[in-house]
Amino acid sequence: MSEVKKIATRESYGNALAELGATCPNLVVLDADLAGATKTGIFKKAFPERHIDCGIAEGNMIAVAAGLATTGKVPFASSFAMFAAGRAFEQVRNSVGYPHLNVKIGATHAGISVGEDGATHQCNEDIALMRTIPGMVVLNPSDDVEARAAVKAAYEHDGPVYLRFGRLAVPVINDREDYKFEIGKGVVLREGKDLTIVATGLEVAESLEAAEKLAADGIEAKVINIHTIKPLDEELIVAAAKETGKVVTVEEHSVIGGLGSAVCDALSEKAPTKVLKIGMNDVYGESGPAKVLLEKYGLDATGIYNKIKAWL
């Protein structure tokens, strides 16, 4: 059996921007002195006249992007999630969100899988922050195929979009030929009758593996990939909750304010259901190899399996 291809979604982001740049002359990419890490350097190499390095000044970068959007450009402002969503939150809220400008925020190195960069750079709060901004679309793709599709969908969407990408190479689980990305629509990857696992980002692949482990114990889990956290596919999640009676959310993010909170908001109103939220439990991360950290915090397939088994 051949090994599953793995690629970091930040790589997908850079490649997708370069591909779009060839046919979209109004696309402009901004970076905060991290073109090599965010992979926007791929776009810079192809279209240097449309790449702007704003230096280590993320708030200013967002303000520049907002200005460019008012002239008809479609700017993708890029930095680590901790800086794009955290340090520049005020500018994102007031300069992009409030006037509802057509700015796309490409946030890489999200979650604890940043690894050795440590707790200060491991942003587990960005989804919560971006969800609170009125009119902001929040996308968190699971693999290379989905990440490329998300960049294209963000470009075509009229309004602000926050895109979340990772540093760690993750398995390609979607089919490039058949895959269709639609903002606000979740994807059922596995059918099951005993519980529903709702996952996002790199946790989708881990959840699929956890579901296989559960199946070996006679527990059939439906697995739903939520690449759009806002607007959330409430209809799909509510239907699954009614069908299986139990829901587990899995995210590489704090359990406060992220996917789990969004799902609970929807279910509490439309289909009260028992929910287990798996994520970072109100703690900071720490420095260490990404895979070791995912294992320590129970966010790898085995950790997810063990938590679900204990809960059941």
HEC profile for 74-143? Answer: EEEEEEEHHHHHHHCHHHHHHHHHCCCCCCEEEEECECHHHHHHCCCCCECCHHHHHHCCCCCEEECCCC
- Cα dihedral 255/260/264/265 (nearest 10): 90
- The residue among 223, 191, 194, 192 whose CA lies nearest residue 209 is 223
In this structure, are residues 140 and 164 in contact, taking their beta carbons and an 8 Å threshold?
A: yes
Catalytic, 125? Answer no
Please tell me the distance from the alpha carbon of residue 139 to that of residue 282, in angstroms, as a whole number: 22
Catalytic residue among 11, 49, 58, 243: 58
- The residue among 122, 147, 152, 262 whose CA lies nearest residue 204 is 147
Catalytically active residues are 58
